[in-house]
Amino acid sequence: MAILKIARMGHPVLLREADLVADATAPEIRRLIVDMLETMDDASGIGLAAPQVHVPLRLFVWRGPGGEPAALVNPVLTPMGEETEPGWEGCLSIPGLRGQVTRWKRLRFEGLDINGDPVAGETEGLMARVMQHETDHLDGILYPMRMEDLSRFGFTEELSRAAAAAAAQKETQS
Ligand code: NI
């Protein structure tokens, strides 16, 4: 197990299209998944894509709602329905910042799991958002490139302060 170095925005590995994983059961892929999970936990992330650790391959890891470790290799996402929703996102490759991004609300995912076995399912809300954010990394897309309103982009610290101030104001008024 090892903690890997995370590439930050500006590094070219984050802008290229990643390659398909030829053999998801190969020992080096297993090792990469384990190291990526450890790296994600160390950095307090909720998802991490291979290009973020300088490996241009199509796979990402995350922790499920119950905290269970999960990986998706060669993912294919298909939106279910037309519904989208805005939500705040951060990225371990863009530390300290947050931005609001519109994503598909529900989607179907397919790929290979942590053991290299085929897996498919449907998901929505936060999990669907994480999968879209991570799959974007495999196509060289960072969340600010998806943003429609750059006034909803800022430092987490300032945004939290502003949100707390707005909440306090609301409380005084009610
Ligand atoms: Ni990210």
Domain residue extents for the chain: 12-173
Task: Report pLDDT for 172.
Answer: 79
CA of 26 to the centre of ligand 1 (A): 25
The values of phi and psi at residue 19, to 5°, are -90, 150
One of 134, 148, 157, 158 is an active-site residue; which one? Answer: 134
CA of 29 to the centre of ligand 1 (A): 20
Name which of 53, 51, 54, 63 is nearest 17 in CA terms.
51
Which CATH fold would you assign to the domain 12-173? Peptide Deformylase (3.90.45)
Q: Are strands 69-79 and 59-63 parallel, antiparallel or unpaired?
A: antiparallel
Task: Report pLDDT for 71.
Answer: 97
CA of 68 to the centre of ligand 1 (A): 19
Supply 99's token pair: 């931005």
Task: Report pLDDT for 174.
Answer: 65
110 is catalytic: no
Sites in the chain below the pLDDT cut of 70: 174
Supply 65's token pair: 């709602």
Task: Report pLDDT for 1.
Answer: 74
User: What predicted TM-score, i.e. pTM, was given to this entire model?
Assistant: 0.94
CA of 48 to the centre of ligand 1 (A): 6
CA of 174 to the centre of ligand 1 (A): 38
Task: Report pLDDT for 173.
Answer: 74
